[in-house]
Amino acid sequence: MGIFWQVVDIETTGLDSKVEEVAELAIVTCHNTDVINIFHKYYEVKKMGEVAGKVNGLTEYQLKGWPKFNSNENINIVRGILKYPYFAHNVDFDRGFLLASNVVNPDLKYIDTVKLCKTKPTKLENNKLQTWLKYFNIDAGAKHSALGDSLGLARLIILQGWQIKVIG
């Protein structure tokens, strides 16, 4: 049977889940140590925040014509995919946006990998995802993209055995 688990990452127009929008979402579904599905989508936004745009490299112009994150169709798609315990780096941020848009079951188990990093004997200068990926020489592709970050985080979780320790 094994363990099913997921990694979630989002890119947004800003930091406040009550007023900002999701611009990109990636959900990596794993079974034990295998990636079995990747869901990745961009979303149209009204306005990309200046700071957020510098971090994630997205603009409202690039996202024009994509579906809206909070559309009923998209909410149903994401609810159908996000159904296993999920990891996120700084989970409160991602979860806040998912809950604000009503796309995740609030009872679904979630795990913050920042907290897991803090329990490791390896002490790095900070607990940012990119710092940990670099330390373990994990190439995740584009930095600060939901897809790159979620794939990199999935590799880190497997390398550390967290899916077994936390969920198993």
- CATH code, 143: 3.30.420.10
Ramachandran class of 108: left when φ > 0, alpha when ψ lies in -120 to 50, beta otherwise: beta
123, pLDDT greater than 90: no
Q: Cα dist. 97→19, 45, 138 in Å?
A: 10, 14, 27
d(CA 165, CA 120): 13
Choose between 22 and 168: higher pLDDT. 22
What local confidence, expressed as pLDDT, does residue 141 receive?
75
Q: Which domain does 77 fall in, by range?
A: 4-167
- Tokens representing residue 84 in the block: 């296993």
Model pLDDT for residues 130-152, shown as the tens digit of each residue = 999 999 999 877 778 999 999 99
What local confidence, expressed as pLDDT, does residue 78 receive?
95
The SS3 assignment for 120 reads coil
165, pLDDT greater than 90: no
What local confidence, expressed as pLDDT, does residue 52 receive?
94
What local confidence, expressed as pLDDT, does residue 1 receive?
78
Mean pLDDT within 54-63: 94
Q: How many domains, in total, are found in the chain?
A: 1
**Average pLDDT in the chain:** 94
Mean pLDDT within 32-48: 97
C-beta separation of 67 from 73 below 8 A: yes
What local confidence, expressed as pLDDT, does residue 140 receive?
76
Model pLDDT for residues 72-116, shown as the tens digit of each residue = 999 999 999 999 999 999 999 999 999 999 999 999 999 999 999
What local confidence, expressed as pLDDT, does residue 144 receive?
81
> Where does the pLDDT of residue 121 fall: very low under 50, low under 70, confident under 90, or very high at 90 and above?
confident
